[in-house]
Every structure is written in structure tokens, then in C-alpha cells.
Amino acid sequence: MIDLHTHSNYSDGTDSPAQLINKALAAGVTTIALTDHDSVAGITEATNALRPGISLVPGAEISCQTEDGISVHMLGLLFDLENSELIQTMAKTRENRHGRMQRIIERINEAGIDISMSDVLAELSDGATLGRPHLADALIKKGVVSSRDEAFTEMLHNKSKFYVAHYSPKPAEAIALIKAAGGVAVIAHPMASHRGRTISYETFGDLISAGLDGIEVDHRDHSPDEKTALIKLARENNLVMTGASDYHGNGKLNLLAEYTTSNDQWDALRSRANADRVINL
């Protein structure tokens, strides 16, 4: 089974990369992509945890924002991990997430809820990308909410008065960076409408022109109708169709390999990278 979208505690997942590899192997996953938010910091640990029977696809989920403020997540897979432009862009995003968190906290404080940056940072593993799920964890500790899901539903969603965006590249820029680093670009959960606004078909056209390689079709956040529309779009534009879990450990309900990518789609996708960077034991 091939699962091309998972998170570790180098971003907002709760498993270490080694735990992730072990659980994936136990779940029957043969190929797993580690795609932490705006970071490849967990790839070394995941590589060191590899065992016979499972291969690792190096990757990252790049936060992006369109001109009109719509949040887009772009999976970059199989790129050169040393590529300085891509690394610098991810570093800039990660740094900006701290100032953004400070501003979200200020807004929450103004509403009379006592929470501080140090409370949030206490929930973050060393070297991990900071995100709203860490704030959610801090709010759980304070007894303000009882789960990450409740935190997002009640307070932290994209339309909330507490919401603040952070720097991130435009989706077409992220595609260009991933491609220049020799990798492949797959747009993650493009129709996940309950998270906030999603991109139009016109914007999709721009991304295809920029070199988009694939669309994540099979994902928990897509309805059957949304999948049907995405399959049509992929077929019309010769794009690869993937499926993946977007596993976050205990941080979300998503189970490893709950959606997967077929062997032929995976072969088509990996052949679009400029080198075979799948990591084996």
C-alpha cells in the first residue's frame, strides 16, 4: 500500500518519524511519504528507522496562499533535499509562523482567555514547525477545550475572529520551487471546503500551467461528488491522481493508509521527478 501524505512530530503530527515508520509497516504500508508542514527535518530520523518492506518518499507539505487569500497546501515529493531556494522558502514560512502565533494569542487574550506563547511552545517538539494544533494542545491543557477538533471547530478555524495568516508562497511559486528542485508537485485536498474557501477551476488552470503534476483525489475531506469532479479534471489535464491518509498520529482521526495511491499512478508520478529519490534501507 502506498500512502503519500503523512505528518510526524516535526510538524503537527504526534508520532516521531520512527514511530510513524513502525506503525506504517505494521499497517501494511510499503511506500510512505513523510510530508511535514514546511519542513524536511524529520526525513533523517525516518530514514534511520527504515526496515525491509517499507520505502520512504521524502517530501513536505508546503503552505501556500493565493492572491485573494485562499489557503492551499502543496505536497512536494522526491525533490532534492539540499535545494537552497526551497529550503529557504520553508524556513521563511516556519519563522513567520511564530509571529503569526503571537498575534493569534493576543486576540485570544483580548477575549479573556489566558494563554501564552510559552504554553504553546511547550507543546512543540524540538525543531518542529509551529502550527495551530500546538495552540489547540495548549488550550486543552488549560481546560479551555477538550480536543484539537473542538479547538478548531470553536476557536481556531480559518473564518474565526482569532485567525491570522502567515507568510507563504503563492501556489504557482511553490510548484516552481518544487520542480526546480527536481521533485513533483501534488495539490493536497484541494476541495476540502469545510476548512475554508477553496480554489476555483480558473486557479486550477494557473497551477496546471505552472507544472502541477498531480491531484490528491482520495482524501477524507472530499465528498464523492468532489472526487468525481477532481477525477475529471485530472483526466482532462493528464495529471496523476493520488490518495493518502494525511495521518497526524493522535492529532486527527485520519488512520494510516485509510486512502492510498495505486501502483500505476505512483509509477507515473515518480517518473516525473528528475531523479529516483525514493529511500530504501
Of the residues 23, 73, 94, 179, which one makes contact with Fe ion according to CB under 5 A: 73
Residue 260 beta carbon to ligand AMP: minimum distance, rounded to whole angstroms: 19
Could you tell me which of 1, 31, 36 has the C-alpha nearest to residue 251? 36
> What is the contact mask toward ligand AMP in residues 26 to 65, using x (rule: CB under 6 A)?
-----------x----------------------------
Site for ligand AMP in 104-143 (CB under 6 A): 131-133
Give residue 167's region: left, alpha or beta (phi > 0; psi -120 to 50): beta
DSSP, residue by residue, 5-62: EE--TTTT-SS-HHHHHHHHHHTT-SEEEE--BT--TTHHHHHHT--TT-EEEEEEEE
Cα–Cα distance between 223 and 122 in angstroms, integer?
36
Q: Give residue number: closest CB to Zn ion.
A: 12
Cα–Cα distance between 244 and 261 in angstroms, integer?
7
Interhelix angle 84-110/132-141, rounded to 10 degrees, is 40
**C-alpha cell, 268:** 507515473
Of the residues 36, 57, 138, 152, which one makes contact with ligand AMP according to CB under 6 A: 152
Residue 265 beta carbon to ligand AMP: minimum distance, rounded to whole angstroms: 23
Site for ligand AMP in 227-256 (CB under 6 A): 248, 251-252
Residue 13 binds: one of ligand AMP, Fe ion, Zn ion, none (C-beta under 5 to 8 A by kind): none
Residue 132 binds: one of ligand AMP, Zn ion, Fe ion, none (C-beta under 5 to 8 A by kind): ligand AMP
* 3-state secondary structure at position 63: strand
Q: Is 38 in the site for Zn ion (CB under 5 A)?
A: no
Of the residues 149, 154, 263, 275, which one makes contact with ligand AMP according to CB under 6 A: 149
Judge contact between 246 and 210, C-beta under 8 A: no
Phi and psi torsions of 66, nearest 5°? -80, 170
Q: Is 219 in the site for ligand AMP (CB under 6 A)?
A: no
Of the residues 9, 10, 12, 174, which one makes contact with ligand AMP according to CB under 6 A: 12
Cα–Cα distance between 94 and 250 in angstroms, integer?
22
Local structure of residue 195 (DSSP, 8 states)? G
Site for Fe ion in 173-212 (CB under 5 A): 188
Could you tell me which of 248, 260, 251, 266 has the C-alpha nearest to residue 6? 248
Q: Is 67 in the site for ligand AMP (CB under 6 A)?
A: no
- Type of residue at 56: L
> What is the contact mask toward Fe ion in residues 246 to 275, using x (rule: CB under 5 A)?
x-----------------------------
* Alpha carbon distance, N-terminus to C-terminus of the chain: 18
Of the residues 9, 10, 12, 183, which one makes contact with Zn ion according to CB under 5 A: 12
Which one, 128 or 185, has the nearer CB to ligand AMP?
Answer: 128
Q: Where do contacts with ligand AMP occur on this chain (CB under 6 A)?
A: 12, 37, 131-133, 148-149, 152, 248, 251-252
